[in-house]
Chain A
């Protein structure tokens, strides 16, 4: 086979291995030169992106691809670790690598005057490797291991500003909540192995019968992964940690949060795909029950996130509460598509939810980058202390306006395209849900108009006369995200037809996922 075929065949392992190897190179390279370290980190992400692009062209054209560690094919007993890449995984790793690239470009100048940057870059590359691993794997225990790696590394990165007590407190809360959740996931994995003697998702999905222990496993997995994704009322670690981490780190932790959301999708659609429409509880099929529970928690998330964000004084904490509300929108779309499995609007809801994943990551990311630029320029976190910054920071103001309109779902930016699909499909399930979602979207606009007025408009306070514009790499990162937001808003069909539609189809088509592994013996 040609070199290209060889690269594509080993691409799933290389996508995780290259950032891992780069992470261990970082302390050595930092001793040589600082610019070299930054350039090396960026080039590692570019190389990973190249492999992701190669793999994407293959998987989107030819269907799911299997990579078995340590053997050429899968013989019984089936306990090999395997990576199974279908279009949904491709969608998620594309989002992760875009967020990673932007975060590294941003942190070139944001972190320049801090110490301990060799450890920072090591941890960032490890976090990227573990998030990519979570999204590529086809094995439940491997998912748990990558989840634990991302928990530990995120905790260390959240506590990066050690001199501030609040960052330590946020990191402690994050690690307590995450490790208890991960231990319950391990308990659920033990229950699954005890019954079926298999650990990879495809084999388990094939032989799963909806016994009493399987009900326990479903509830444990969905609740813990929902907690890691930020579903109310288990969301309270999210504003603490997003608000106190360095903003470039928050961007990548958003990627890890979305990977936990991807875990919920995998568990419900693929692992329990065969039993969802068949098993019954309260004379309803189980998928209706699971869907309506997710919808109920999602509506509460949207309302609580938006209402709490209105009264925050700390800028990054406010954006974090808005992120909780956006996760609520995602769960609303997914819950609709599960509760109405098989109807025509269920596919629209699933596509809207997945597109909202991408849009939310970009928009909330852009808002965090702008907040970081404000912190870099004025060294103040509270909104009460800053005012009238539009006179000196013109580009930042423009990017913030784009982020504001995108997050609130204003046409013609990307937020509207996904929210349009969500509103239209949720309305057909129950009109009240759609009305609540639209009202909370208006409140989201109100929140960010308040931030815009307080931070950028208004009289110029005497302490801010010589505030300078943000450095060039930060402006470049923000410009990239804003450009992507405008592009997806103006041409939503390109993104939907290339990435989102194959992902939604691959998610619902669990038979194809199973037959890639079982048929390949």
Chain B
């Protein structure tokens, strides 16, 4: 009753949650074998920047448009082409509609 059957496979979310929970219990047990001999809230838990001072949050903030920089720059050709396609011009929106209409008329044997 709780299994979703597609024609070629099955998916049971409750069974999945049970398995993940057992895995978490195992991981928690493994975590207990670690060391906890450290003093909280002292120098031992602060970030180490090779002796440099930690800058203020304003300067340290990585802006959202700079994330995934590698992905965006390596696909630069695709992005230039896509940005040129999205002009923001209302006439271009209707032009794409007319183009798809014409192409599908040709495919369906109207013209």
Q: Please report the C-alpha to C-alpha distance between residue A455 and residue B6 in the assembled complex, in whole angstroms.
A: 38
Chain A, residue nearest B104 (CB) = A219
Find B61's partner among A344, A446, A459 (CB 8 Å cutoff): A459
A420 touches B4 (CB 8 A): yes
**Chain A residues within 8 Å of B7, by CB:** 344-345, 348, 424-425, 428
**Chain B residues within 8 Å of A421, by CB:** 4, 6
**Chain B residues within 8 Å of A218, by CB:** 108
**Chain B residues within 8 Å of A450, by CB:** 64, 67-68
A180 touches B97 (CB 8 A): yes
**Chain A residues within 8 Å of B63, by CB:** 383-384, 454
Q: List 7 A-B contacts (CB under 8 A).
A: A216-B110, A223-B104, A289-B107, A352-B6, A412-B16, A421-B4, A450-B64
Known pairs A293-B107, A493-B2; A237 contacts B101 (CB<8 A): no
User: Is the C-beta of B50 less than 8 angstroms from some C-beta in chain A?
Assistant: no
Residues of B whose CB lies within 8 Å of any CB of A are 1-4, 6-9, 11, 13-14, 16-17, 57-58, 60-65, 67-68, 71-72, 75, 78-79, 82, 85-86, 88, 90, 92-94, 96-97, 99-101, 104-105, 107-110
User: Is the C-beta of A442 less than 8 angstroms from some C-beta in chain B?
Assistant: no
Q: Please report the C-alpha to C-alpha distance between residue A224 and residue B97 in the assembled complex, in whole angstroms.
A: 8
A412 touches B79 (CB 8 A): no
Of the listed stretches A115-123, A195-203, A245-253, A304-312, name the one at the interface; the rest are far from the partner chain.
Answer: A304-312
Known pairs A293-B107, A308-B86, A460-B57; A219 contacts B101 (CB<8 A): yes
Known pairs A383-B64, A420-B11; A234 contacts B6 (CB<8 A): no
User: Is the C-beta of A281 less than 8 angstroms from some C-beta in chain B?
Assistant: yes
**Chain A residues within 8 Å of B93, by CB:** 173, 176-177, 234, 236-237
**Chain B residues within 8 Å of A493, by CB:** 1-4
A453 touches B65 (CB 8 A): no
Task: List 15 extra interface pairs beyond A236-B92, A450-B67, CB under 8 A.
Answer: A176-B94, A177-B94, A180-B94, A216-B105, A307-B79, A388-B57, A411-B11, A420-B11, A424-B7, A425-B6, A453-B64, A461-B58, A462-B57, A491-B13, A492-B11
Number of A-B contacts (CB under 8 A): 144
Chain B, residue nearest A412 (CB) = B13
Q: Please report the C-alpha to C-alpha distance between residue A446 and residue B70 in the assembled complex, in whole angstroms.
A: 13
Find B90's partner among A173, A215, A345, A420 (CB 8 Å cutoff): A173
Known pairs A304-B82, A345-B7, A492-B13; A233 contacts B107 (CB<8 A): no
Question: Chain B: interface secondary structure?
Answer: helix
B104 touches A453 (CB 8 A): no
Q: Please report the C-alpha to C-alpha distance between residue A311 and residue B88 in the assembled complex, in whole angstroms.
A: 16
B57 touches A461 (CB 8 A): yes
**Distance in Å: Cβ of A500 to nearest Cβ of chain B:** 11
User: Is the C-beta of A387 less than 8 angstroms from some C-beta in chain B?
Assistant: yes
A219 touches B110 (CB 8 A): yes
User: Is the C-beta of A256 less than 8 angstroms from some C-beta in chain B?
Assistant: no
**Distance in Å: Cβ of A501 to nearest Cβ of chain B:** 12
**Chain B residues within 8 Å of A233, by CB:** 85, 96, 99-100
A496 touches B68 (CB 8 A): no
**Chain B residues within 8 Å of A313, by CB:** 64-65
Q: Please report the C-alpha to C-alpha distance between residue A348 and residue B4 in the assembled complex, in whole angstroms.
A: 11
**Chain A residues within 8 Å of B60, by CB:** 459
**Chain B residues within 8 Å of A417, by CB:** 4, 11, 13
**Distance in Å: Cβ of B41 to nearest Cβ of chain A:** 18
Q: Please report the C-alpha to C-alpha distance between residue A428 and residue B60 in the assembled complex, in whole angstroms.
A: 49
Q: Please report the C-alpha to C-alpha distance between residue A510 and residue B65 in the assembled complex, in whole angstroms.
A: 50
Q: Please report the C-alpha to C-alpha distance between residue A425 and residue B7 in the assembled complex, in whole angstroms.
A: 8
Known pairs A176-B94, A311-B72, A459-B57; A384 contacts B64 (CB<8 A): yes
B61 touches A289 (CB 8 A): no
B97 touches A177 (CB 8 A): yes
User: Is the C-beta of A79 less than 8 angstroms from some C-beta in chain B?
Assistant: no
Contact with B along A250-288 (1 / 0, CB 8 A): 000000000000000000000000000000010000000
A411 touches B64 (CB 8 A): no
A491 touches B2 (CB 8 A): yes
**Distance in Å: Cβ of B105 to nearest Cβ of chain A:** 6
**Distance in Å: Cβ of B66 to nearest Cβ of chain A:** 9
**Chain A residues within 8 Å of B107, by CB:** 289, 293
Contact with B along A469-502 (1 / 0, CB 8 A): 0000000000000000000011111001000000
Which A92-120 residues sit within 8 Å CB-CB of chain B?
none
B6 touches A420 (CB 8 A): yes
Chain B, residue nearest A386 (CB) = B64
**Distance in Å: Cβ of A473 to nearest Cβ of chain B:** 28
Q: Please report the C-alpha to C-alpha distance between residue A216 and residue B110 in the assembled complex, in whole angstroms.
A: 7
User: Is the C-beta of A403 less than 8 angstroms from some C-beta in chain B?
Assistant: no
**Distance in Å: Cβ of B104 to nearest Cβ of chain A:** 5
B13 touches A220 (CB 8 A): no
Q: Please report the C-alpha to C-alpha distance between residue A310 and residue B1 in the assembled complex, in whole angstroms.
A: 39
A308 touches B82 (CB 8 A): yes
User: Is the C-beta of A181 less than 8 angstroms from some C-beta in chain B?
Assistant: yes
**Chain B residues within 8 Å of A289, by CB:** 107-108
**Chain B residues within 8 Å of A371, by CB:** none
**Chain B residues within 8 Å of A458, by CB:** 61-62
**Distance in Å: Cβ of A414 to nearest Cβ of chain B:** 10
Chain A, residue nearest B94 (CB) = A180
User: Is the C-beta of A227 less than 8 angstroms from some C-beta in chain B?
Assistant: yes
Known pairs A216-B110, A289-B107, A424-B8; A451 contacts B64 (CB<8 A): yes
**Distance in Å: Cβ of A433 to nearest Cβ of chain B:** 15
**Chain B residues within 8 Å of A308, by CB:** 82, 86
User: Is the C-beta of A53 less than 8 angstroms from some C-beta in chain B?
Assistant: no
Q: Please report the C-alpha to C-alpha distance between residue A437 and residue B77 in the assembled complex, in whole angstroms.
A: 22
Q: Please report the C-alpha to C-alpha distance between residue A501 and residue B13 in the assembled complex, in whole angstroms.
A: 19
Q: Please report the C-alpha to C-alpha distance between residue A307 and residue B72 in the assembled complex, in whole angstroms.
A: 9
Find A176's partner among B88, B90, B101 (CB 8 Å cutoff): B90
